[in-house]
Amino acid sequence: MKSEITFMHNQRSARGRKSGVNKFAKRRYPIGAELIGPNKTHFRAWAPKAKNVDLVLESGAEKNAERSFHPLTREDGGYFSGTAEAGAGALYRFRINDAENFHPDPASRFQPQGPHGPSCIVDPTQFKWTDEKWRGVKMRGQIVYEMHIGTFTPEGTWRAAAEQLAELARIGITVIEMMPIADFPGNFGWGYDGVDLFAPTRLYGTPDDLRAFVDRAHSLGLAVILDVVYNHFGPDGNYLAVYSDDYLTRENENDWGDSINFDGANSGPVREFFITNGRYWIDEFHFDGFRFDATQSIYDKSDEYIVGAIGRAARQTAGKRSLILIAENESQETKLVRPRSEGGDDLDGLLNDDFHHSAVVALTGLREAYYTDYLGSPQEFISAAKYGYLFQGQPYSWQEAPRGTPTFKASPEAFVAFIENHDQVANTAAGERLRFQTSPGRYRAMTALLLLGPWTPMLFQGQEFGASSPFIFFTDVGDGPMREAIRKGRFQFLAQFPSLAANEVQKRLPVPSDPKVFANCKLDFSKRKKNKEFYDLHVDLLRLRREDSRFHEQRLGGVDGAVLGPASFVLRYFSKGNSDDRLLVVNFGERRVLTPAPEPLLAPPLGLEWETLWSSESVSYGGPGVVTVARQDGWTLPAEATIALRLIPEKAPRRQPKRRSL
């Protein structure tokens, strides 16, 4: 079956038609299917391996589908393009070199039947946005909340998740970090094995459902950033090799296979693909930025590092709307957050694994695998508050090499601190939440440090109400052999922890492809009421951080600290003239009495004294009750507690020292 087709010249496609003709008049991106009329679509794909490319329009069920074939025109540089009479909702694929098999568009906007099925033409103008006044967010002052759409609600959809946004906004969350949504095979997964980077996965709803989620978030004052995976493609459903051998390179293999070719031969169109992807999410879905996954595995020796290039293109696309760009970087390269004028990449934030690792050691005593080089000591938390990363080039025995780069002059908000995220919860035998691995008092104390520290705090879904649901690595990708290979690979990864390496433990590890594993990870929102003490703890701390003059400031050099004992320390938040200073006294150990207390950071200015502002020991959080910490005759540090103190005028004159003869 054949139908009429007309072709657009490359120059005309690049320029677009005169503005004002209609909403479809101008092509927006260099790749993919875009409507240029009510029932006319322009297609463009990079396929340098092909001698010829046909557009295959499909209608009807897969087995009995009616198909029409339309040859595309070859352009310079290996691109093929053309227009066809097809509107929004039409299904299509590409045929390469007259082959019997047809393949989805590498830049497909939607895969309603999954990565192995046909691509779908999408009209992004059908959704009516209501966020015209939204101006985005900047890094300072944010509270990040990591969310996996498939397990955040029982339904596992954007629509269901959107219904919970008002409650997140009410308690003080300001930024949603959405785990990856690029389409992947199977019925469930984390999303890090995505293969259709422009296609929001059909598992969570339609592209317009995603738009509605972001629009609703903006109406509540919530920003939404997207976790993007630009370091590899998933092992199943990736058809890029049909079009070109230049998307991937074996020169720099990473933990997940071949790396992406950002700086080798024919890398120009590859870079264009990813830069376009960044622009697309910002423009068509109004995302407020990105969390770049595993940037240590994004290899690029170009003059302009690809992550920085994507970020700058995204900011240009956003216009006056502010974005935040955060990187995961295991190597702790602070170049990512330095200005480009100083050789950096202009990002805004870095995940701080050092803080997490110290926190886990302090809470659990676990010192194996990548926790080996951490003590969980007071000095580590003081240094994290002052400098961000703990390892900035020192020897790191776990990797038998130096770790990290200097962070001096980096603002406190650039470091995203957390005690739970998807990786770290899952890197236990059964995806156990951290609160079950320590004492209630110590967990409350650590939560207070996390939420009142000078960094940018991040919570993982359900953490705020003490969720008991686990979070385990789950994936429905691939056939039997591939699933078995993934299972073995996952178990081998966990075996780096000696406590998880024994055969009897490995036999009990949850199987990633088991649907029950996925189902067990779904949140139970009834725990908000059942675990009211945990919920109140987080709500009150978020309010204190938001409303207090010092705890929300995040000023470079605004905090100093001192060790008070083997498991206790103090952070002092300075104000101009010191009359509005704050103290955060943290004790992860047994009760301590400091008499004497020869530490200058504990001293109030003349005419002022310290008063308890907040305590993790409150009975409303399940604690034993608040005690007076600062007295004229000494200091009492309750066991496993964090106390915030503020300055008030002295209630009584200071005692005069007794005169003793020499």
Q: Which residues participate in catalysis according to the annotation?
A: 293, 328
Question: In this structure, what is the dihedral angle of CA atoms 314, 319, 322, 327, given to the nearest 10 degrees?
Answer: 10
Burial grade of 135 (CB within 10 A; 0-12, 13-18, 19 or more): exposed
Do the Cβ atoms of 468 and 527 come closer than 8 Å? yes
Which residues on adjacent β-strands are paired with residue 260? 248
Question: In this structure, what is the dihedral angle of CA atoms 379, 381, 383, 388, given to the nearest 10 degrees?
Answer: 160
Please state, in angstroms and rounded to a whole number, the distance separating the CA atoms of residues 464 and 293.
Answer: 24
CB burial string 159-182: b at 16+ within 10 A, e below? bbbbeebeebbebbbbbbbbbbbb
Half-sphere exposure of 560 (CA within 13 A, CB side): 9
Which residues on adjacent β-strands are paired with residue 136? 322
Inter-CA distances, 444 with 366, 586, 587, 619, Å: 19, 11, 11, 12
CB burial string 403-413: b at 16+ within 10 A, e below? bbbebeebbbb
Q: Where are the beta strands (DSSP E) in 308-351?
A: 324-327, 349-351
Which residues on adjacent β-strands are paired with residue 67? 58
Inter-CA distances, 623 with 97, 125, 362, Å: 71, 53, 19
Question: In this structure, what is the dihedral angle of CA atoms 388, 389, 394, 397, given to the nearest 10 degrees?
Answer: 150
List, in order, residues 6 or more apart from 361 with CB less than 8 Å away: 367, 371, 374, 375, 376
* Residue-wise DSSP of 552-599: TT--TT-EEEEEEETTEEEEEE--GGGTT-EEEEEE-SS-EEESS---
Burial grade of 130 (CB within 10 A; 0-12, 13-18, 19 or more): exposed
List, in order, residues 6 or more apart from 212 with CB less than 8 Å away: 127, 158, 159, 162
Look up residue 369 and give its DSSP letter.
G
Which residues on adjacent β-strands are paired with residue 73? 81
CB burial string 278-292: b at 16+ within 10 A, e below? bbbbbbbbbbbbbbb
Look up residue 37 and give its two tokens: 């009329």
Q: Which residue type is seen at 523?
A: L
